[in-house]
Structure 1
Amino acid sequence: MTIKYQISPNQVNEHLFDVSIIFTAKHSSEKLSLPAWLPGSYMIRDFAKNVVNFKAINEGKPVEIELIDKQTWQLNNVTGEVKVSYQVYAFDLSVRTAYLDQERGFFNGSSTFICVESQQDSPCELEITAPIHASNWRVATGMRRAKSTECFTFGQYVADDYAELIDCPVAIGDFSHIDFQVEGVTHHLVFTSKHYGDMQRMASDIAKLCQHHISLFGEAPFKEYWFITHLLESGFGGLEHKNSTILQASRFDLPNPQKPQELTDDYKTFLSLCSHEYFHAWNVCRIKPKAFVPYDLSAPSYTTQLWAYEGITSYYDDFSLYRAGIISFEDYLTILAKTATRVFRGEGELKQSVTESSFYAWTKFYQQGPDALNHIVSYYTKGSLIALWLDLTIREKSNGQYSLDQLMRELWIHFGRPQQGTSEEDFINIANILCGEDISEAFNDILHSAKRLPVADILKRFGTDFTAAKFEKLNDLATKSTQDYHAFLGAHFKAQPLGLKITQVVEQSPAAKAGLAVDDILVAVDNLKMTEKNIAALANHLPEGQKVNCHFFRDDQLLQSELGFIDSPLSGITIKEFDQSLSAKWRNII
Structure 2
Amino acid sequence: MSIKYTVNFDLANQHIYQVTIQIPAHKQKQLNLSLPAWIPGSYMIRDFAKNIIDLRASANGQEIEVELIDKQSWKISTLGQACEISYQVYAYDSSVRTAYLDQQRAFFNGTSLFISVDEFADAPQQVELQKPSFTDKWKVATGLQRPNDTIVYQFGLYQADNYAELIDCPVEIGDFTHLEFEVAGTPHYLILNGKHFADCQRLIKDVSKLCQHHIDLFERETGGKPPFNEYWFLTNILPSGFGGLEHKNSTALLCSTFDFPNINKPGELSEGYKTFLSLASHEYFHNWNVCRIKPQEFIPYQLNSESYTKQLWAFEGITSYYDDLSLYRTNIVEFSDYLKTKSKTISRVNRGKGQLKQNLIESSFYTWTKFYQQGPDAANNIVSYYTKGSLVALWLDLNIRKHTGSAKSLDDVMRALWQEYLDGGEGYSGTQLETVIDIAESITQAPIKQAFFDILNGKDIVPLTELLAEFGVEYKQAASKINSPLDISAENHSPYLGIIYKEAKLGLEIAQVLNDSPAEQAGLSVQDVIVALDNLVVNTGNFSNIANNLNLDKSYPITYVRNGELFTTQVQLVKQMNELVELKLVDEEKAKGWQQIN
The TM-score by the shorter chain falls in which range? over 0.9
Cα deviation, residue 147, structure 1: 1.0
CA distance in 2, matches of 1:128, 1:58: 23
1:2 matched to which residue of 2?
2
Q: Please name the residue that 2:284 is paired with.
A: 278
- Please give the secondary structure, in 2, of the residue aligned with 1:206: helix
Partner in structure 1 of residue 228 of structure 2 = 222
Q: Could you say which residue in structure 2 is the equivalent of 1:189?
A: 190
Aligned position for 2:367: 361
- TM-score of the two chains, using structure 2 as the length reference: 0.97
Residue 222 of structure 2 corresponds to none
CA distance in 1, matches of 2:296, 2:422: 11
Superposition pairs of residues 293-312 of structure 1, within 5 angstroms: 293-312=299-318
Q: CA deviation at 1:26?
A: 3.5
Deviation (angstroms), 1:80: 1.7
The partner residue of 1:238 within 221, 244, 253 is 244
Structure 1 consecutive aligned stretches of length 4 or more whose deviation exceeds 6 Å = none
Instruction: Supply the distance in 2 between the matched residues of 1:243 and 1:474 (Cα, whole angstroms).
Output: 41
* Cα pair distance change 1:67/1:306, threshold 3 Å: same
Verify the 8 A CA contact 2:406 2:596 in the aligned structure 1. Answer: no
Root mean square deviation of aligned Cα: 1.2
In the TM superposition, 1:105-184 aligns within 5 A as 105-184=106-185
2:267 equivalent in structure 1:
261
2:322 is the counterpart of 1:321: no
Deviation at 1:496, TM superposition (A): 1.4
Query: Of 493, 497, 512, which aligns to 1:504?
Result: 512
Query: 2:460 maps to which residue?
Result: 451
- Pick from 443, 447, 469 the counterpart of residue 478 of structure 2: 469
Amino acid at match of 2:13: N
- Once residues 186 and 498 of structure 1 are traced to their aligned partners in structure 2, the CA distance between those partners, rounded to angstroms, is 50
TM-superposed deviation, 1:568: 1.7
- Is this contact kept in 2: 1:290–1:422, CA < 8 A? yes
What is the one-letter code of the residue matched to 1:477?
A: L
2:381 is aligned, of 375, 378, 398, to 375
Q: Say which is worse superposed, 509-518 or 326-335, in terms of deviation.
A: 509-518
Task: Give per-residue Cα distances to partners, 1:53-74, cap 9 Å, x unaligned.
Answer: 1000012211111110000011
8 Å CA contact retained: 1:474, 1:489: no
Structure 1 distance, partners of 2:274, 2:32, is 47
Give 1:417 shift.
6.2
Deviation track 1:520-562 (CA, whole Å, cap 9, x = no partner) reads 1111111111112232111111111421111111111112210
CA distance in 2, matches of 1:301, 1:184: 37
Match of 1:584 in 2: 592
Find 1:288's aligned residue among 288, 294, 307. Answer: 294
Secondary structure at 1:57 match in 2: strand
For residue 552 of structure 1, give the secondary structure of its aligned residue in structure 2.
strand
Cα distance between partner residues in 1 of 2:365 and 2:79: 42
- Which structure 2 residue ranges, 5 or more long, are not aligned? 220-224
* In the alignment, structure 1 residue 549 sits paired with structure 2 residue 549: no
- Structure 2 residue matching 1:551: 3-state secondary structure: strand
| CA–CA distance in structure 2, aligned partners of residues 488 and 153 of structure 1 | 57
Deviates more, 1:430-439 or 1:514-523: 430-439
SS in structure 1 opposite 2:100?
A: strand
From the superposition, tell whether residues 79 and 531 of structure 1 become closer, same or farther in structure 2 (CA, over 3 Å).
same
2:390 to 376, 384, 387: 384
Residue identity opposite 1:23 in structure 2: I
Q: CA contact under 8 A between 1:287 and 1:416: conserved in structure 2? A: no
Partner Cα separation in structure 1 for residue 479 and residue 50 of structure 2: 47
Q: Secondary structure at the match of 1:26?
A: coil
1:366 Cα shift? Answer: 0.4
Displacement after TM superposition at 1:253 (Å)? 1.1
> Are 1:567 and 2:575 counterparts?
yes
Q: Deviations over 1:404-425 (max 9, x none)?
A: 0011111111026635111321
- 1:13: which partner in 2? 13
Partner of 1:22: 22
**Does the aligned pair in 1 maintain the 2:59–2:78 contact within 8 Å?**
no
What amino acid sits opposite 1:398 in the alignment?
T
Tell me which moved more, 401-410 or 531-540.
Answer: 531-540
Alpha-carbon separation, structure 2, partners of 1:434 and 1:543: 56
Match of 2:96 in 1: 95
Rounded Cα–Cα distance in structure 2 between residues aligned with 1:107 and 1:565? 49
Alignment-derived partner of residue 497 in structure 2: 489
User: How many aligned residue pairs are there?
Assistant: 589
Q: Summarize the alignment of residues 433-448 of structure 1 with structure 2, pairs less than 5 Å apart.
A: 433-448=442-457
Matched, 1:337 2:338: no
Q: Give the CA deviation at 1:564.
A: 1.6
In structure 2, the residue matched to 1:63 is: 64
> Any conservation in 2 of the 1:12–1:100 contact (CA below 8 Å)?
yes
Structure-1 residue corresponding to 2:538: 530
**TM score, norm. by length of structure 1:** 0.98
2:469 aligns to what? Answer: 460
Whether the aligned pair in 1 keeps the contact of 2:359 and 2:383 (CA below 8 Å) is yes
Superposition deviation, residue 190 in structure 1: 0.3
CA distance in 1, matches of 2:378, 2:539: 25
Offset at residue 437 of structure 1 (A): 2.7
Shift of 1:472: 2.7
Aligned to 1:33: 34
